[in-house]
Structure formats: C-alpha cells, structure tokens
Amino acid sequence: MKHAANFLTAARMVLALVLLAAEPLSPAFLALYTAAGITDMLDGPVARGTGGASAFGARLDSAADLVFFTAAAIRLLPCLWPLLPPAVQLGTLAAAFLRGTVFTLCLLRLGCVPALHTRLNKLAGAGLFCLPYFIGGCLGWYAPVLCLLALLAAGKDLRLVCQGKSRAEECFQWRDFRWR
C-alpha cells in the first residue's frame, strides 16, 4: 500500500503514452485524458494517507506531469492552435519562451530540471488541464484568461530562479530515480 501513489503516478505516464494514439477530442481521448488527470489529483493524497510520501514520489510526479503535458500538447495543439486569436498565440509563445528560460537557468545553475510547485503553477496547470473541455463553447474568454495566468506563473518562476529562490530540492534529477 505504501507504493500505491507511485503506481498511480506511473499509470499517468502510461495513460499519457496511450493518449498519443487516440484521436484528439474523441470520447476515447477525453476518457484517457480525464483518467490521467484523476491520477494526478489522487497520487498526492494517497501518498500522504498511506505514509508513502517520498522525495522519489515527488520527482516521479513531476516527471509524469511533464510526460502527460507533452503528450497532451502533441495531440491537442494542432487542432487548438488555429482556434486561438493571434494575441493568445503570441502570449502562448511568450509563456513557452519564459518556461524554456527557467528550464535553461535551472539546468545551468542547479544542474537539474525545475519542478516549482507554486500556487500560480498549480492554478495554471489546472486551467490548462481543463482546456480541452472548453474547446467547444467558451474558448473565446477561457483561452485569453488562461494565457495570462500562464504568463504570470512563468514570470514568477523566472523571478524566483533569477533571485536564487529556487533550490535544488525543487528540481528532479534522473539519477535520483530509484525505488526505495
């Protein structure tokens, strides 16, 4: 039971990989996508509830988030991008540039990939997760609000890294991945 959270997190990685084969926005895609999101919501509470919380689990969670985000972006961006207004497209590119800068600075300064779990990052992540469910009707107001939130979160991360307020324990390093 102690490792149940890690199995949930690993399931998110598997679901993300299967997501790559599903037709974007199809019922199968949305079912896989939702299941992956549920594992993300459950793994932390399960880890704390079973006494299975660990540094490895936290790093595995960050890696699973990255795999899930990447798979979802690969499948959703081609159908979503043309629907976005030019200002939101530009804001999205700016947020991606800021994220890339944060990753690069952390790699250079700390030798690891950042996994900053600020409130803004969690809020932006939750908003980003909900995006496929808004493609049908409310995208006109939802996408600009989400874009602004993502820009604020990325800007805050950049500020934290530039001020030296991010620490190595907020990063994950592949050499740290071993079952304990």
Q: What is the pLDDT of residues 32-50, one digit of tens each?
A: 999 999 999 999 899 989 8
How many beta carbons lie within 10 A of that of residue 35, not counting itself?
15
**pLDDT bracket for residue 175 (50, 70, 90):** very low
pTM exceeds 0.95 for this model: no
Contact criterion met (CB below 8 Å) for 69 and 63: no
pLDDT in tens, 64-110: 988 999 999 999 999 999 999 999 999 999 999 999 999 898 888 77
- C-alpha dihedral sign at 176, 177, 178, 180: positive
Q: What is the pLDDT of residue 171?
A: 57
- Give me the helices (H) in 81-138, please: 86-110, 119-134
- In eight-state DSSP terms, residue 25 is T
* Host H or E run for residue 113: strand 113-114
Q: Give the N- to C-terminal CA distance of the chain in Å, as an integer.
A: 14
Question: 26-32 long-range CB contacts below 8 Å, 24 or more apart?
Answer: 29/75, 30/132, 30/133
Residue 171: strand, helix, or coil? strand
Contact criterion met (CB below 8 Å) for 110 and 166: yes
pLDDT in tens, 103-157: 898 888 777 767 677 889 889 989 999 999 888 778 889 999 999 999 999 999 8
Q: What is the pLDDT of residue 56?
A: 85
Nearest CA-CA partner of 72 in 100, 43, 34: 34
Name 171's bridge partners: 114
